[in-house]
C-alpha cells in the first residue's frame, strides 16, 4: 500500500521525518526470527521539538526490541538429530523408530552431523543425495552375543552387495525432510534446504509382480507348508490378514475354539510385547475358518507333546521366545519355489493377499477396513491389488457385452 504523500515528510534524522513545523513522523524496524518478511515495524506521529522527536524515536526502538525474540543459535545437525530421534520414540512404532535411527546413522550423520543447521545448504543436500545413489546399501542386523555370561543384543552394519536404489534414497530424503521441518519450527530463520531435490522418478513396479498371490497361487503355497512346524502360523497369516507383530504375540488364552475366533490384544516387536498402537491397530476379535482352527489345535497338541519351552505362547521359537519374521525366511522362500511362485512374495505379502481375497469375495469397503484394522479407507485401497487374472476376466466380460462380434477376415 502506498503511503499518504502528505505524511511522507523529509528525513531529518534516522527514523525521523519532518512533515511540518514541529510535526514529525518517527518509525522503527527490527528483524524478528519468528515471523517472515522484513520484521516488525512501528510508526508514530509526534509534535514537538526535533530533540524530543529523536528521544521519542529511541523509546520506540527500545519498545520494539523488547518484543523481538533473541535469535537462538543453531546446534549441530548431529546434536539436533539425536534429540529428534528421542522425541519420535513416543510417536512412531519401534520398527519405524529404528529405521529412522538407521537412516541417520548410516547415511545422514556421516556427512551432515558435524555441520550447524544454519550452515547446511541445498547444495550440500543435493551432493549428499547424489553420493547416496552411488553408495553400497547397508542394513542393520541385531545379533545376540554372550557378554559376561549374559546374552546381549548387538546391532551390526552388514553390506548387502548392491547399490542403493532411487526408492531407498527417496526414503532417506523423506526422513531428512521430516527432521528439518521440525527444526524450522524451533529455529524459524532456517531455510528449507530439502525442497527442489530431484532424484529422478523411481522405476514403477510391474502390477503383475505385486507382493500378493492369486487364489490359485495361494492354494499351491499353502500345500507347500504341509508338515512344517510353521504350517499353522502361515495358515493364520494368510486367512486372517494379521500383521506378523500381532500374530507372533498371540497366546492360547486368546483362542476361542467354540466361536472360531482369536482375540488380538497385544503386539510384539523385537522381543518387546506391548499394546497395539494407533498406527498399527489391532482388529480385536478375528474370525477364522474352521480349517485354520483345526491347524492351530494340531499345532498346540504337538507343542504339548514335545513339552516345548514357552508353549503358553501360540508360536514360540525353539528356545521359548517369541518369533520374528526372519525365523521362517528360508522355509518361506523354499515354499514359494515349490509352489512355482517366481515373483517377490514376502511375509507381509500374506496380509496383502488376504485383503485382496476380501475384495474378491465381494465385501464392502467398510467390512474390508474393519477386518484389516486400517484407520481409513485410503489405506485399504493402498493395500489392494487388482490381479492379472481379474483384468483378463474383465476384458472377456466386456467384449461379451457387445451384441455384434467382429469377425477377423
**25-70 tens-digit pLDDT:** 888 877 665 555 566 677 888 888 998 988 988 888 888 777 655 5
pLDDT at res. 287: 86
pLDDT at res. 351: 87
Of 87-91, 131-135, 275-279, 353-357, the poorest mean pLDDT is in 275-279
Considering only residues 390 and 258, tell me which one the structure prediction assigns the higher pLDDT: 258
Neighbours of 403 (CB within 10 A): 5
Report whether 372 contacts 380 (CB < 8 A): yes
| Contacts of range 114-120, beta carbons closer than 8 Å, 24 or more positions apart | 114/76, 114/77, 114/78, 115/76, 115/77, 116/74, 116/75, 116/76, 116/77, 117/74, 117/75, 117/76, 117/77, 117/80, 117/183, 117/187, 117/190, 118/74, 118/187, 118/189, 118/190, 119/74, 120/77, 120/193
CATH topology for the 212-393 domain: hpI Integrase; Chain A (1.10.443)
Q: What is the Cα–Cα distance from 313 to 178, expressed in whole angstroms?
A: 38
What are the residue boundaries of the structural domains of the chain, listed by start? 5-67, 77-204, 212-393
What residues are paired with 355 via a beta bridge? none
Considering only residues 153 and 188, tell me which one the structure prediction assigns the higher pLDDT: 188
CATH topology for the 77-204 domain: DNA polymerase; domain 1 (1.10.150)
| Residues present in the chain in total | 409
Give the residue ranges of DSSP H helices in 70-140: 77-88, 94-103, 109-112, 122-132
Q: What is the Cα–Cα distance from 250 to 242, expressed in whole angstroms?
A: 11
Query: Does 195 score more than 60 pLDDT?
Result: yes
Map residue 187 onto helix, strand or coil.
coil
Cut 0.85: pTM above it: no
Question: pLDDT tens digits, residue range 280-300?
Answer: 666 778 888 899 999 999 999
Q: What is the Cα–Cα distance from 86 to 81, expressed in whole angstroms?
A: 9
Report whether 173 contacts 194 (CB < 8 A): yes
Query: Does 238 score more than 50 pLDDT?
Result: yes
Amino acid at each position: 500500500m502506498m503511503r499518504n504523500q502528505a505524511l511522507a515528510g523529509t528525513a531529518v534524522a534516522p527514523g525521523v521525518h519532518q512533515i511540518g513545523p514541529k510535526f514529525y513522523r518517527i518509525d522503527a524496524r527490527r528483524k524478528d526470527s519468528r515471523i517472515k518478511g522484513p520484521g516488525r515495524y512501528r510508526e508514530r506521529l509526534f509534535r514537538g521539538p526535533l530533540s524530543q522527536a529523536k528521544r521519542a524515536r529511541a523509546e520506540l526502538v527500545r519498545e520494539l526490541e523488547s518484543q523481538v525474540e533473541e535469535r537462538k543459535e543453531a546446534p549441530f545437525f548431529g546434536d539436533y538429530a539425536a534429540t529428534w530421534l528421542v522425541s519420535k520414540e513416543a510417536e512412531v512404532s519401534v520398527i519405524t523408530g529404528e529405521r529412522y535411527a538407521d537412516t541417520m546413522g548410516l547415511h545422514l550423520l556421516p556427512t551432515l552431523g558435524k555441520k550447524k543447521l544454519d550452515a547446511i545448504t541445498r547444495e550440500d543436500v543435493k551432493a549428499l543425495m547424489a553420493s547416496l545413489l552411488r553408495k553400497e546399501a547397508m542394513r542393520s542386523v541385531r545379533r545376540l552375543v554372550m557378554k559376561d555370561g549374559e546374552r546381549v543384543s548387538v546391532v551390526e552394519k552388514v553390506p548387502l552387495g548392491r547399490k542403493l536404489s532411487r526408492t531407498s534414497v527417496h526414503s532417506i530424503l523423506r526422513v531428512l525432510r521430516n527432521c528439518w521441518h521440525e527444526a524450522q519450527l524451533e529455529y524459524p530463520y532456517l531455510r528449507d534446504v530439502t525442497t527442489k531435490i530431484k532424484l529422478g522418478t523411481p522405476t514403477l513396479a510391474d502390477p503383475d509382480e505385486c507382493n500378493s498371490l492369486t487364489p490359485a497361487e495361494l492354494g499351491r503355497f499353502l500345500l507347500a507348508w504341509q508338515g512344517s512346524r510353521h504350517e499353522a502360523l502361515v495358515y493364520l497369516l494368510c486367512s486372517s490378514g494379521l500383521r506378523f507383530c500381532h500374530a507372533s504375540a498371540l497366546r492360547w488364552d486368546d483362542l476361542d475354539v467354540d466361536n472360531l475366533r482369536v482375540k488380538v490384544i497385544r503386539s510384539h516387536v523385537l522381543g518387546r510385547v506391548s499394546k497395539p498402537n494407533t498406527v498399527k491397530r489391532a482388529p480385536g476379535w478375528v474370525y477364522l475358518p474352521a480349517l485354520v482352527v483345526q491347524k492351530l489345535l494340531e499345532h498346540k497338541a504337538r507343542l504339548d507333546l514335545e513339552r516345548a519351552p514357552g508353549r503358553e505362547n501360540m508360536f514360540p521359537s525353539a528356545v521359548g521366545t517369541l518369533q520374528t519374521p526372519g525365523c521362517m525366511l528360508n522355509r518361506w522362500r523354499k515354499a514359494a519355489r515349490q509352489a512355482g511362485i517366481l515373483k517377490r512374495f514376502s511375509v507381509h505379502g500374506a496380509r496383502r493377499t488376504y485383503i485382496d481375497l476380501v475384495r474378491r469375495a465381494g465385501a464392502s469397503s467398510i467390512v474390508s477396513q474393519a477386518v484389516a484394522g486400517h484407520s481409513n479407507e485410503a489405506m485399504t485401497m493402498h493395500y489392494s491389488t487388482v490381479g492379472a487374472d481379474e483384468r483378463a476376466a474383465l476384458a472377456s466380460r466386456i467384449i461379451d457385452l457387445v451384441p455384434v462380434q467382429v469377425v477377423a477376415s
